[in-house]
Chains A and B, each alone.
Chain A
């Protein structure tokens, strides 16, 4: 992107870039808003700002990530996403060819997901006032009849299911950031999960909770759900899917995969009686092929998440206030 004072001209340029890549009738109308009809029912809406370094990483980039992130937040209500918007904040000096790549990736992700980006906005800030590129996306979706998924619905006896291996995204980002090369490249798992969710909801409409364990990882998500539902959880370390290369990287880096971010995984909690059915539905979808029951919900006034370790002990898996900060004295 050009340096200098041509802010408005640049924004114009960028807008044209978007229209070209996102290419859909609503956007093409050129209005300041997108107007569309929806069927009567329960709508959900979610928004997410995306900031990531590096912007390109194995398995994805900030563009597809910003689409997947918001689609997943919408989908975690059980909804079918309908439309999205995108807002960009660009720092002067951001390379145009990078922007082109990012927008193309967003467009591809949206097309693959079948959810058009129908409105957007761009601002360019002076050099030093941004970090290259920030993307904020908003999504809107509709919840099927009879589906009532919420973080406060976990109850004792319920089963806890994870859709696949954990830690892929966070380890991919961290190792790219530090320029670490591993024998087997670790790729981000970034993916849109609403297709998987649709299959799950169809098999078991009464899923109690769904959440994508993004920042803070599986540990944080389980703690959030436990707290919201005022229950405890017992999970088994041995049951949690973890790729060998991610495990090895975590060993080297000293990271606990339970706290590492994912961008294409979900945690589902359902009644024990529904668990087999739900698990089967998940496993028959490509994004849930490695789904596993990892534990169950238990009564606990302290809302602790406990994990039976592979050594046979039981440890408390708690929240972390910040980064993984060593605690041991």
Chain B
């Protein structure tokens, strides 16, 4: 500090040259104009350019102005920029005479500037709402601080020609903005205006453009139709969405029936945070997430005395998922609507949302009444991201629009990693590229067995590989040989001569959590607690409730949930009663339960089933493999409580529902149910005591809310106790929690608190989903670590 001050006074008049190498997300976000503006402010001369490593600045001026320039660069960086580091080097040569200028990217270099799509910035929003502005009510207004990015890019380098904006040559006014370093649209590749840019129109079921009323534009007409109770398909930024008035019960039910999505909650869009507050409790942090440039869906607790929406919006839930307008089109829509709209993905249940106009016309026929179309192609499907505040922090439940493809810097020791491609899981697919010490995780793509989703996955992987000029040295896959991602990873490795590295599912879950929390590659072992649906174990078993002592390269299975037959294999995921039967049969015997509790709904339901055959299936292990799944325990309890006992209509539905029940019972639940912890290798968390107490409660007429809460509390305590025991026994201070079941807010909060109380450091998934959406990151870092450590061994 003192030295700096001295130098600043002593050498005030001297002019020196400095090169600043800026790393991070600094391309395609208006960084160079900021540099240019600041350089002029501090009277520097020199130049700025994009190159393969980021932004390079050569600046001449007094040491004092150069220092202030450097500070200002960080403080006044553009909203979408992220600076990971600035290196400074002294320059030789003499001060150039041309002042400060922006020079074209150096030929042949690879630009790295693909950033996530960003919600409309306040400046653009103001322009769109200003009748005197040339972009008044123009739905495609954007600038370097906002607008589409990944959703429209086809290739590198990232310039207009390689995006779907290529079809719209800029008019003179737009071109002038684009070329003016002082303008916030300087090199805004999707820059457009009503004269030159994409246009929006409304169509009816027969694909005819609707004639508009006088003084009305297409967006205003869409507003009118939504108000009147119609379902309007809207082409958004990453795909088609279906909109209707969220307070119109008939419209909402109609949408459910037509879309064949009967239960899963619908997302909502509100005009602003104030409108959200009328329906939900919004904390300061939640408001910040809601209003962030990523523009995710945020899951809120529904306000107890809030205004009412249609009951079909989120049946059985005490939460509501809201997002704010994130394109000018959405802003224009919401501006004139007094109530929130349902805004759900434009698809039939299970299929990915449509991205192309023709597909939307065809697929959404019979679902939508009108189509709000535009003529800018969506190149990459991007679903809305979903975020929820859990245990005091915002947690991404689905990571897509607004977040992908933002890279994360990997922890210490990973800089030396080779190029790794990780293929992810089967449902909630993502993939991950590791290069130069960074990991780039794709947007959520979805269920690979679904044909259209699968081809999206392939297309997205091809695109990312082109964008990041990526050829893998190693390909990481799940150990499950039948995952389509595993099969495809195998063939990529084979075709391209890359090493194939198979990674155990739950080990990958833990590693993803370690990586996002900056745990170095050479870490001492930590305890990973993974509460998950299913993953293949190294012993060929189906794992899911696991306690692993692990680092990035190895793991040891210290404990697991008591394995219970998965009655009917994959069928058990869809039909909770199967898990109830398997649990009851295993821990107490069906006959005893049926005799003692003949009037339970679950007893009556199971009596209707071919019980003898089910028991024989278990006895002969006919498609009934043992599984330590945590998800199925929730299903079993849900079924006994009469929650979707027969069948669920989407993954995790029963678990989500009993979480909602438990939320209501927590206040008066008291102690949780006991769970057995049996010593052994692995140690087992068993279910006998829990079921005994639970069934007794049910017989006593205890409210289901209380039972659900006691189940959560008891399970959290057992998991916490086992984790503390194991941590003490193995001298571990850090516990990483992951797996899809940890998206349960009560469970994660309670387990984390117990561990913290015991003085342990708790790591939880935040920026990458705890479910299989985060798996590719874990696979990638495990493969990278094995490569690095293997190489170290070979070298020494």
Contact B350 A313 (CB under 8 A): yes
Q: Is A13 an interface position by the 8 A CB rule?
A: no
- Mark out the residues of chain A between 176 and 203 whose CB falls within 8 Å of any chain B CB in the assembled complex: 177-181
Contacts A180-B613, A316-B449 given; indicate if A327 touches B567 (C-beta within 8 A). Answer: no
Q: Is A254 an interface position by the 8 A CB rule?
A: yes
- Shortest Cβ gap from B453 to chain A (Å): 9
Q: Is B351 an interface position by the 8 A CB rule?
A: yes
- Mark out the residues of chain B between 458 and 484 whose CB falls within 8 Å of any chain A CB in the assembled complex: 458, 480-484
Closest A residue by C-beta to B486:
A321
User: B452, B458, B619, B622: which has the most chain A beta carbons within 10 Å?
Assistant: B622
- Shortest Cβ gap from B363 to chain A (Å): 10
C-alpha spacing A306/B452, complex, angstroms: 10
Provide the residues of chain B in CB contact with A253, threshold 8 Å: 568, 617, 622-623
Q: Pick the residue among B350, B505, B622 that contacts A177 (CB under 8 A).
A: B622
- Mark out the residues of chain B between 612 and 638 whose CB falls within 8 Å of any chain A CB in the assembled complex: 613-614, 616-617, 619-620, 622-623, 625, 627
Closest A residue by C-beta to B619:
A178
- Shortest Cβ gap from A20 to chain B (Å): 37
- Mark out the residues of chain A between 254 and 303 whose CB falls within 8 Å of any chain B CB in the assembled complex: 254-255, 302
Q: Is A41 an interface position by the 8 A CB rule?
A: no
- Mark out the residues of chain A between 309 and 329 whose CB falls within 8 Å of any chain B CB in the assembled complex: 311-316, 318-322, 324-329
- Shortest Cβ gap from A74 to chain B (Å): 32
Contact B480 A178 (CB under 8 A): no
Q: Is B658 an interface position by the 8 A CB rule?
A: no
User: B426, B454, B487: which has the most chain A beta carbons within 10 Å?
Assistant: B454
Provide the residues of chain A in CB contact with B482, threshold 8 Å: 318-322, 325, 327
Provide the residues of chain B in CB contact with A43, threshold 8 Å: none
Contact A178 B616 (CB under 8 A): yes
Contact A321 B481 (CB under 8 A): yes
Contact B452 A254 (CB under 8 A): no
Q: Pick the residue among B480, B571, B740 that contacts A325 (CB under 8 A).
A: B480
Contact A254 B570 (CB under 8 A): yes
Contact A254 B449 (CB under 8 A): no
Q: Pick the residue among B425, B484, B569, B616 that contacts A179 (CB under 8 A).
A: B616
Interface segment, one of B158-166, B530-538, B754-762: B530-538
Provide the residues of chain B in CB contact with A313, threshold 8 Å: 348-351, 450-451
Q: Is A252 an interface position by the 8 A CB rule?
A: yes
- Mark out the residues of chain B between 541 and 569 whose CB falls within 8 Å of any chain A CB in the assembled complex: 542, 566-569
Contact A329 B771 (CB under 8 A): yes
Q: Pick the residue among A178, A302, A315 that contacts B622 (CB under 8 A).
A: A178
Contacts A177-B622, A318-B482 given; indicate if A328 touches B570 (C-beta within 8 A). Answer: yes
C-alpha spacing A253/B484, complex, angstroms: 24
Contact A326 B566 (CB under 8 A): yes
Q: Is B661 an interface position by the 8 A CB rule?
A: no
Q: Is A99 an interface position by the 8 A CB rule?
A: no
Q: Is A174 an interface position by the 8 A CB rule?
A: yes
Q: Is A304 an interface position by the 8 A CB rule?
A: yes
C-alpha spacing A20/B562, complex, angstroms: 57
C-alpha spacing A123/B609, complex, angstroms: 47
User: A180, A255, A322, A326: which has the most chain B beta carbons within 10 Å?
Assistant: A326
Provide the residues of chain A in CB contact with B93, threshold 8 Å: none
Size category of the binding interface on chain B: 35 or more
Contact B350 A254 (CB under 8 A): no
C-alpha spacing A251/B574, complex, angstroms: 11
C-alpha spacing A304/B487, complex, angstroms: 12
Provide the residues of chain A in CB contact with B481, threshold 8 Å: 321-322
Contact A312 B651 (CB under 8 A): no
Contact A254 B451 (CB under 8 A): no
Closest A residue by C-beta to B535:
A329
- Shortest Cβ gap from A9 to chain B (Å): 37
C-alpha spacing A255/B573, complex, angstroms: 13
Contact A325 B536 (CB under 8 A): yes
Provide the residues of chain A in CB contact with B484, threshold 8 Å: 316, 318
Contact A180 B651 (CB under 8 A): no
Contacts A174-B622, A313-B351, A321-B481 given; indicate if A329 touches B568 (C-beta within 8 A). Answer: no
Q: Pick the residue among A254, A316, A321 that contacts B454 (CB under 8 A).
A: A316
Contact B620 A178 (CB under 8 A): yes
C-alpha spacing A322/B482, complex, angstroms: 8
Contact A316 B448 (CB under 8 A): yes
- Shortest Cβ gap from B544 to chain A (Å): 8
Q: Pick the residue among A251, A314, A320 that contacts B452 (CB under 8 A).
A: A314
- Shortest Cβ gap from A49 to chain B (Å): 24
Provide the residues of chain B in CB contact with A255, threshold 8 Å: 569, 623
Provide the residues of chain A in CB contact with B245, threshold 8 Å: none
Provide the residues of chain B in CB contact with A316, threshold 8 Å: 448-451, 454, 484
- Shortest Cβ gap from B491 to chain A (Å): 9
Contact B771 A312 (CB under 8 A): no
Q: Is B572 an interface position by the 8 A CB rule?
A: yes
Contacts A178-B622, A314-B450 given; indicate if A329 touches B571 (C-beta within 8 A). Answer: no
Provide the residues of chain A in CB contact with B542, threshold 8 Å: 325-326
Provide the residues of chain A in CB contact with B622, threshold 8 Å: 174, 177-178, 180, 253
Closest A residue by C-beta to B428:
A329
Contact A254 B536 (CB under 8 A): no
Contact A179 B451 (CB under 8 A): no
Provide the residues of chain A in CB contact with B452, threshold 8 Å: 314
Contact A326 B569 (CB under 8 A): yes
Provide the residues of chain A in CB contact with B427, threshold 8 Å: 328-329
C-alpha spacing A145/B157, complex, angstroms: 60
Q: Is B131 an interface position by the 8 A CB rule?
A: no
Contact B348 A254 (CB under 8 A): no
C-alpha spacing A40/B616, complex, angstroms: 55
- Mark out the residues of chain B between 742 and 767 whose CB falls within 8 Å of any chain A CB in the assembled complex: none
- Shortest Cβ gap from B654 to chain A (Å): 14
- Shortest Cβ gap from B85 to chain A (Å): 37
- Shortest Cβ gap from B109 to chain A (Å): 33
Contacts A321-B482, A329-B425, A329-B532 given; indicate if A315 touches B451 (C-beta within 8 A). Answer: yes
Across the A-B interface, give the 9 residue pairs with the lowest CB-CB distance, nearest first.
Answer: A254-B568, A254-B571, A321-B481, A314-B451, A178-B620, A329-B533, A326-B570, A178-B622, A254-B569
New A-B contacts (9) at CB < 8 Å, excluding given A177-B620, A319-B487, A328-B533: A179-B620, A252-B613, A311-B260, A318-B482, A326-B566, A326-B625, A329-B427, A329-B740, A329-B771
Residues of chain A at the chain B interface (Cβ within 8 Å): 174, 177-181, 251-255, 302, 304, 306, 311-316, 318-322, 324-329
10 A-B residue contacts at CB 8 Å? A178-B616, A253-B617, A255-B623, A304-B454, A314-B451, A318-B449, A328-B573, A329-B425, A329-B427, A329-B532
